[in-house]
Structure 1
């Protein structure tokens, strides 16, 4: 058979449902082979969007999302989304075409050494120089992408190799072996927690990836432990749980700062340092760390690990809960911190100011979405507000890219999320700056008949950068831009366009958009004067 056909058979063997990408000359054989496969190829309007879709799909399903591009500019366009997935620990297989082997030794049209380019942003990458190694390369790629910590893998297929004949078959799919911590390690961890005066859990994305939220909640209940979540760990503990101190990660002080200041022991569960630099929450290096993860932590002076509890996170949490005696702690301070944060959100329920305040947008969005509905935040000022105030019932229901944190992820991500979970409402929360980077994927949503809602926060500038400029220098520099008529633009793509002109009508507009069960864009002007006000308010917090 043709090597390209063998590649597709190997992808089928791995259970691939979708490939997101842009076709090109150097992957003609692969595109032709797809015509005889049940794998659906999702044509995107930009390669970066294809990788964003693959990353979101991988995050939500636990199966690697697959994306494809041609050589040269196709591969470099794909790169940002692949790097984003890798730093967010989302499993992705990126496949790129390449010039034939017979012209790689010399200056050649569109040829760059993409193995070298992809090396820093992937867990593993290789060029398939012989069709005979395709089964091994694909099996290793999927095994590597899904092994903790998950991430991106790159396979490069030269055009002449793709057209070669080969006699081979896909390899069988094998899962990963799990291990758990030794009993003596579990016992030591329990003793440290019981001896601590003010232990605190910091829950990260690894809990979600490991499907360990239920085990974490059981562990918290037995030891009566307060818990805070990173941006990417949102929902690992329900916001309705009395132990939940909600989300940490915004720069500077916040209500949860008092929790970190009080803690003498932090149990970091599935926490990756890329999520929230330890220097921000353990500045004096005073609190000791119990590190519960699948692998040992990166070395960091502000992350003094007193004990590693390494292995399957779910299994180790269950062992910790079983080894501990049920206790009741004096957690009145937790109730106080929780109430202050929750009251802040509640007070904007009936806010009538226009343009709409960020707090009002988030309050109304939370009120219309169900516990398992999905909100995907892009990157910008709105991300900080969503991270801080959009509270979750379940994991993976508020997706926030906080590794590479590339702008443009929300719209393509929402399309992938709806493909992964057609039964759920999916809302892309995006600023006008980020929308300009991937807004062409509105056409993709319409073509696929994917009923997502795009909630556009419009302020005519790069709001997060302005926020930081005003904080640091007291003035803004070169952050404003012009916008199209977003309603006309949405309608030109085939979306329903809804305009918010009255804050009191926002919730009603959101409900209308979800009820339409079709692609909808909501244009909502936002008042980012609240950004600096928040900075001032947080600066006044006393622990």
Structure 2
């Protein structure tokens, strides 16, 4: 039976198990909107394509299935690029459909014309344009396969509007059948053999494909072999941070002692992580151009193995498949008991709050959240100085409780929180955002209200782009340029959108504010009025200035 391309597309999404899509509507894909109407797939209508893309990316990160985004041609597609960059660097499955000009108008610089293969090529795993309506099922099936295979990532399909509105009689295609990956005996033996020759091993975990079950397997393996485990940047929920073998995170603002431990290790067992520049402090703790520790690298993409580091060996396998096999082994701890115990002591000392200036103290805010939020609460954040407090002082208790961009994208936390609340309406969702970070995507407040996403947003308001100001004061002390912010009344703004909020000007007010926020049935903003001198580092702004002058 003939269907127009929009209905074929929507039916194919249903076959792929898509539960919701995110979009900013455009006339270039009206047929797709019509198809979604018939297919009954919820469409989360957003306010700007950057925020919509981050919501779709967060969905993919939470579920392991591709987040689906619809945007229109030209400015719609280019606005979405920020979320695609997050998906690429975070190894998140995502499928993006872009409305395109009619096929007969190509190469005339028609209204909003863009060559999406060239534009998105460096940002995505695959970019293509569908020219024939009858091939939509084929292209969509392949897009979902590419987005989830190997190292997951984003895929873009451009849809010429005349192709999408045309009719074709074509059957749907079932999703590809897959076998669950399993570690071979030889692969497991390679790891145990490497451990048998080590004296200072360090397990470093990160990357995609993880789950609650995988986190439990990791903990069992670490216990059995008495191994210290470090998480990479914003992958702290891969292991319960309260576990005796968790040693901290190798991220921005990492514990210097953990960084030293990475540099001093004689064996690095890298599970799922690419072991990039953030984890290695700009390749200074480990240098791929110089001899270093033995690196046993487990990663789902065979092309990643050996691309930066010399693996010894490299094992092309999703990390959870490997830790499942390792967890079944009888433990054989080596001569590193004190090495492991010291790693945990260093973590405990690092996470003991250090007081910062001001009546509201971020270290106490994060400590309260860590102690009082339910264990299944989802915490999201974007980028900024405030996030370092979260990384340092919050104990993530289980997998699926952290949503944050390893790409370091500002503005991510709020749209991610909306997506999280839609996916898990019964769980508390708390977004941490700086005043600069929040203002990049706060227009999605109306999206949250429209779709009933009653998350909590904690805004760390210090009146500046704090991280940039910190570096500015260290490099050019006393020469402030381009880092100050004029801010709105955030609770009043939330109420204007249909939410609610409160200002916290003293630390004693914070617990009551959070009780009210968590009980609200609308999006709720808690604005923290912070002392501008407070920084997430081991010094204040005035100390940063002094350091700059000392140079």
What TM-score do the two structures reach when normalised by structure 1? Answer: 0.92
**Aligned counterparts of 1:253 and 1:446: Cα–Cα separation in 2:** 39
User: What residue in structure 1 maps to residue 197 of structure 2?
Assistant: 195
For residue 455 of structure 1, report the CA deviation from its aligned partner.
0.6
User: What residue in structure 1 maps to residue 470 of structure 2?
Assistant: 467
User: What residue in structure 1 maps to residue 216 of structure 2?
Assistant: 214
For residue 36 of structure 1, report the CA deviation from its aligned partner.
1.3
Secondary structure of 1:239 counterpart: coil
User: What residue in structure 2 maps to residue 504 of structure 1?
Assistant: 508
User: What residue in structure 2 maps to residue 434 of structure 1?
Assistant: 437
**Aligned counterparts of 1:159 and 1:217: Cα–Cα separation in 2:** 51
Query: Equivalent of 1:31, from 30, 33, 36?
Result: 33
User: What residue in structure 2 maps to residue 481 of structure 1?
Assistant: 485
**Aligned counterparts of 2:365 and 2:381: Cα–Cα separation in 1:** 13
**Aligned counterparts of 2:314 and 2:71: Cα–Cα separation in 1:** 41
Residues 372-381 or 268-277, more deviating = 268-277
**Aligned counterparts of 1:90 and 1:108: Cα–Cα separation in 2:** 33
Residues 242-251 or 274-283, more deviating = 274-283
**Aligned counterparts of 1:281 and 1:513: Cα–Cα separation in 2:** 42
Query: Equivalent of 1:235, from 217, 234, 237?
Result: 237
Residues 475-484 or 85-94, more deviating = 475-484
CA gap of 1:360–1:397, structure 2 versus 1, over 3 A, is: same
User: What residue in structure 1 maps to residue 415 of structure 2?
Assistant: 412
1:456 aligns with 2:459: yes
**Aligned counterparts of 2:396 and 2:293: Cα–Cα separation in 1:** 27
Contact 1:2–1:165 (CA<8 Å) still a contact in 2? yes
Residues 264-273 or 320-329, more deviating = 320-329
Instruction: Kindly report which structure 2 residues correspond to 1:306-321, keeping only aligned pairs within 5 A, or say none.
Output: 306-321=312-327
CA gap of 1:345–1:216, structure 2 versus 1, over 3 A, is: closer
CA deviations over 1:3-25 (Å, ceiling 9, x no partner): 11111110111111211111111
User: What residue in structure 2 maps to residue 66 of structure 1?
Assistant: 68
Contact 1:147–1:176 (CA<8 Å) still a contact in 2? no
1:126 aligns with 2:108: no
Contact 1:248–1:388 (CA<8 Å) still a contact in 2? no
CA deviations over 1:213-269 (Å, ceiling 9, x no partner): 222122112111011111232122211111111212125762312322431111111
CA deviations over 1:425-448 (Å, ceiling 9, x no partner): 001111111111110111111111
CA deviations over 1:443-472 (Å, ceiling 9, x no partner): 111111111001101011111111122233
CA gap of 1:533–1:48, structure 2 versus 1, over 3 A, is: closer
CA deviations over 1:268-316 (Å, ceiling 9, x no partner): 1111234735314325642111112223435466x34221232242332
Instruction: Kindly report which structure 2 residues correspond to 1:95-494, keeping only aligned pairs within 5 A, or say none.
Output: 95-206=97-208, 208=210, 212-251=214-253, 254-274=256-276, 276-278=278-280, 279-283=283-287, 285-296=291-302, 297=304, 299=306, 303-323=309-329, 325-327=331-333, 329-347=335-353, 354-403=358-407, 405-475=408-478, 476-494=480-498
**Aligned counterparts of 1:262 and 1:142: Cα–Cα separation in 2:** 41
**Aligned counterparts of 1:107 and 1:198: Cα–Cα separation in 2:** 60
CA deviations over 1:153-186 (Å, ceiling 9, x no partner): 1111111101111001210112433444543342
Secondary structure of 1:316 counterpart: helix
What TM-score do the two structures reach when normalised by structure 2? Answer: 0.91
For residue 527 of structure 1, report the CA deviation from its aligned partner.
3.4
User: What residue in structure 2 maps to residue 56 of structure 1?
Assistant: 58
**Aligned counterparts of 2:520 and 2:536: Cα–Cα separation in 1:** 36
For residue 337 of structure 1, report the CA deviation from its aligned partner.
4.4
Contact 1:201–1:266 (CA<8 Å) still a contact in 2? yes
Residues 512-521 or 441-450, more deviating = 512-521
| Aligned pairs, number | 535
Instruction: Kindly report which structure 2 residues correspond to 1:2-41, keeping only aligned pairs within 5 A, or say none.
Output: 2-41=4-43
Secondary structure of 2:257 counterpart: coil
CA gap of 1:323–1:533, structure 2 versus 1, over 3 A, is: closer
Query: What is the root-mean-square deviation of aligned Cα atoms in Å?
Result: 2.4
User: What residue in structure 1 maps to residue 549 of structure 2?
Assistant: none
**Aligned counterparts of 1:356 and 1:118: Cα–Cα separation in 2:** 43
CA gap of 1:121–1:169, structure 2 versus 1, over 3 A, is: same
For residue 512 of structure 1, report the CA deviation from its aligned partner.
2.1
Contact 1:208–1:233 (CA<8 Å) still a contact in 2? no
Contact 1:206–1:293 (CA<8 Å) still a contact in 2? no
For residue 73 of structure 1, report the CA deviation from its aligned partner.
0.8
Contact 1:246–1:391 (CA<8 Å) still a contact in 2? no
For residue 117 of structure 1, report the CA deviation from its aligned partner.
0.7
CA gap of 1:383–1:353, structure 2 versus 1, over 3 A, is: closer
Runs (5+) with no aligned partner, structure 1: 539-543
Contact 1:207–1:269 (CA<8 Å) still a contact in 2? no
**Aligned counterparts of 1:241 and 1:22: Cα–Cα separation in 2:** 43
CA gap of 1:422–1:259, structure 2 versus 1, over 3 A, is: same
Contact 1:206–1:272 (CA<8 Å) still a contact in 2? no
Residues 529-538 or 101-110, more deviating = 529-538
